[in-house]
């Protein structure tokens, strides 16, 4: 298998975490996402894409569910339909509600060219989403309880950006006044695969900030 990957991408990291958890042998390639060659593979021009030995699978969540079905051990989904629904709600919350306002801030990093109104709006939206996440998380453990699941794989890479990028906009630390979020964030970073994925994001971010690739 081959993953079209970018180490800095939170969505690619979301799928890399699943690959690491399951110990899968996957070749990592970094494409030019706007090239005609890549657009033939993924017409959306988004990263990640999985080439599952000839079957092309788009979208991080679909890739993760595919890997879970194809390689069920170790399991990253609980057994009961009810518990599985809870994991899916968390992943959907991440993809549809928490991540988009954060992504809208990426082009606003430079204070000189920043749209202050847009930044204020998005910071407000992110704060609301983090408050909601704080209510949705359990009192302790991983995102959906004692076991590490696909929900943690979705949330942890984006929380890396929340922690590392929001201070540049003058936002207070995300975990301040959000005890469940603080507990989860501390706990999920004890997971070796999460440490590996976030370290790769950190290295890629540092390289980008140095002006490299
Ligand atoms: N819904 C997609 C989102 C993927 C996504 O937005 N990836 C970003 C990198 S983090 C990307 O490819 N951006 C390039 C672009 O939008 O042109 C998924 O879950 O895979």
Mean confidence (pLDDT) of the chain:
97
**Per-residue pLDDT, 211:** 86
Ligand 1 pocket: which residues have CB below 6 Å? Answer: 9-11, 33, 45-48, 59-61, 95
CA distance 169 to 204: 20
Strand order, beta sheet including 55-58: 27-29, 2-4, 49-52, 55-58
Mean pLDDT over residues 62-66, rounded? 99
Does the pLDDT value for residue 200 go beyond 70? yes
Q: By alpha-carbon position, which residue is closest to atom 15 of ligand 1?
A: 46
Q: Tell me how far the alpha carbon of residue 37 lies from the centroid of ligand 1, in angstroms.
A: 17
Identify the pLDDT of residue 213: 46
Q: Which pLDDT does position 143 carry in this prediction?
A: 98
Percent of the chain at pLDDT exceeding 90: 98
Ligand 1, atom 14, residue with closest C-alpha: 46
**Phi then psi dihedrals of residue 3, to 5 deg:** -110, 125
Q: What is the pLDDT of residues 87-142, one digit of tens each?
A: 999 999 999 999 999 999 999 999 999 999 999 999 999 999 999 999 999 999 99
Q: Is the pTM of this model over 0.95?
A: yes
Domains of the chain with bracketed CATH: 2-70 (3.40.30.10), 81-209 (1.20.1050.10)
29 membership: H or E segment, kind and range: strand 27-29
d(CA 137, CA 87): 11
> Which pLDDT band holds residue 154 (cuts at 50, 70, 90)?
very high
């Amino acid at each position: 298998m081959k993953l079209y990957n970018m180490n800095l991408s939170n969505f690619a990291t979301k799928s890399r975490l699943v690959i690491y958890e399951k110990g899968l042998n996957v070749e990592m390639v970094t494409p030019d996402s706007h090239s005609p060659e890549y657009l033939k593979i993924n017409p959306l021009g988004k990263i990640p894409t999985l080439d599952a030995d000839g079957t092309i699978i788009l979208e991080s969540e679909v890739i993760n569910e595919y890997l879970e079905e194809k390689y069920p051990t170790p399991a990253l989904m609980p057994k009961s339909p009810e518990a599985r629904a809870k994991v899916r709600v968390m992943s959907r919350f991440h993809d549809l509600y928490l991540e988009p306002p954060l992504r809208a801030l990426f082009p606003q990093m430079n204070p000189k060219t920043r749209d202050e109104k847009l930044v204020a709006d998005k910071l407000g939206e992110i704060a609301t989403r983090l408050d909601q996440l704080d209510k949705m998380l359990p009192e302790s453990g991983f995102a959906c309880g004692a076991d590490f699941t696909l929900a943690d794989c979705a949330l942890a890479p984006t929380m890396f950006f929340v922690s590392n990028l929001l201070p540049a906009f003058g936002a207070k630390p995300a975990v301040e006044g959000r005890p469940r979020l603080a507990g989860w964030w501390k706990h999920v970073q004890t997971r070796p695969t999460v440490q590996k994925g976030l370290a790769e994001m950190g290295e890629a971010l540092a390289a980008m900030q140095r002006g490299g690739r």
